[in-house]
């Protein structure tokens, strides 16, 4: 009964009462009271000794129960956070499937319809808009999903051995048909041993390349975009170089932060989630690598990202 009633009293009130009790005990057995009550010197020594031990024991008990209470609250908060994290992960997986499936169908059937010989030119133009919009929407959704996975720490690596030359050529082949009229895509070749392989997450490297090349296309109106890699004994460094508008030096420090758009004046301002470069940075760091840039206004930009060679 007493225990049940005690639980109804707030913990802070109980703790305050405990400290008050310690204060009363301390006051009752203080030096002045002890000197007034006891004249025997040996008795005074014992009283002072017991007084100190009582104080130490009471403080230890209070600290013990306070620590126990705090640990219980921390464990409860951790369990709640873990539950929230699991729910968030499941939500991300479900929403990823639910959104990607219809959007991939839209893109696929748009491309199929455009390939028909009897499709009217005007309808073809509308289908191009549908395809472009669908791809943009898919990019935004993918950015949001990747950011959520990276923030929650639930993104995993799928490392495997793959050849570097076919990988870089596949990136080039993907973007070559979609380049702007006045911009050409150039593949920089470096001689490497035949069938040379690296061990890393190929899809995440491809994702970083796609983000960087898409950015280069947005801000390059004429000239070229060059992609390639340089190999050393300890690491491999990829790069995306463009002859675009460039980036002011004072914007470099915030460039890889979430939702930070580059403040560049353009005639046709392109949209985006503002997450692409932050995703690149976090993915490369997940691969134990680093990413950086060299850029000046009007001189173009070069983005580098390197990973260890294993």
Kindly report the CATH number assigned to the domain that includes residue 245. 3.30.565.10
Distance CA(185)–CA(177), nearest Å, equals: 9
From 155, 172, 207, the end of a domain falls on 155
From 134, 155, 176, the end of a domain falls on 155
263-309, pLDDT tens digit by residue? 444 434 455 556 788 889 999 999 999 999 999 888 899 999 999 98
Do residues 167 and 202 make contact, with C-beta atoms less than 8 angstroms apart? yes
User: Which range, of 22-36, 84-98, 128-142, 248-262, averages the lowest pLDDT?
Assistant: 22-36
Structural domain of 54: 1-155
User: Which range, of 15-24, 198-207, 208-217, 280-289, averages the lowest pLDDT?
Assistant: 15-24
Does 191 lie in the same domain as 121? no
CA triplet 230, 205, 170: central angle to 5 degrees?
A: 80
Does 124 lie in the same domain as 1? yes
Parallel/antiparallel/unpaired status of strands 301-308 and 235-242: antiparallel
From 128, 155, 182, the end of a domain falls on 155
Does 148 lie in the same domain as 73? yes
Does 3 lie in the same domain as 149? yes
Does the pLDDT value for residue 247 go beyond 90? no
Does 146 lie in the same domain as 10? yes
Does 80 lie in the same domain as 19? yes
Does 133 lie in the same domain as 205? no
Distance CA(244)–CA(142), nearest Å, equals: 26
Does 253 lie in the same domain as 171? yes
Structure tokens at 161: 């051995």
Q: How confident is the model at residue 13 (pLDDT cuts 50, 70, 90)?
A: low
Does 63 lie in the same domain as 182? no
Does 147 lie in the same domain as 6? yes
For residue 153, how far is the Cα from the chain centroid? Answer: 7
Overall number of domains in the chain? 2
Structure tokens at 145: 């999903």
């Amino acid at each position: 009964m007493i225990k049940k009633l005690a639980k109804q009293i707030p913990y802070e009130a109980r703790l305050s009462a405990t400290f008050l009790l310690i204060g009363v005990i301390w006051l009752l057995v203080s030096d002045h009271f002890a000197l007034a009550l006891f004249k025997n010197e040996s008795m005074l020594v014992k009283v002072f000794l017991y007084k100190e031990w009582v104080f130490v024991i009471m403080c230890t008990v209070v600290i013990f129960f306070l620590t126990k209470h705090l640990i219980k609250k921390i464990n409860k908060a951790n369990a709640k956070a873990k539950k929230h994290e699991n729910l968030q992960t499941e939500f991300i997986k479900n929403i990823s499937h639910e959104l990607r499936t219809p959007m991939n169908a839209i893109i696929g059937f748009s491309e199929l319809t455009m390939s028909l010989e009897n499709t009217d030119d005007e309808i073809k133009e509308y289908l191009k808009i549908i395809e472009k919009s669908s791809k943009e929407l898919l990019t935004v959704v993918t950015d949001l999903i990747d950011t959520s996975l990276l923030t929650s720490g639930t993104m995993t690596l799928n490392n495997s051995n793959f050849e570097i030359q076919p990988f870089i050529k596949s990136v080039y082949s993907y973007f070559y048909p979609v380049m702007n009229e006045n911009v050409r895509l150039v593949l920089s070749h470096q001689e490497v041993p035949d069938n040379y392989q690296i061990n890393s997450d190929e899809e995440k490297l491809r994702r970083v390349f796609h983000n960087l090349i898409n950015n280069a296309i947005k801000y390059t109106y004429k000239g070229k975009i060059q992609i390639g890699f340089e190999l050393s004994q300890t690491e491999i460094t990829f790069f995306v170089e463009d002859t675009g508008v460039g980036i002011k030096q004072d914007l470099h420090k915030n460039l890889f932060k979430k939702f930070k758009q580059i403040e560049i004046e353009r005639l046709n301002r392109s949209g985006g989630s503002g997450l692409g470069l932050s995703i690149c940075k976090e993915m490369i760091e997940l691969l134990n690598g680093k990413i950086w840039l060299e850029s000046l206004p009007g001189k173009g930009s070069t983005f580098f990202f390197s990973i260890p060679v294993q």
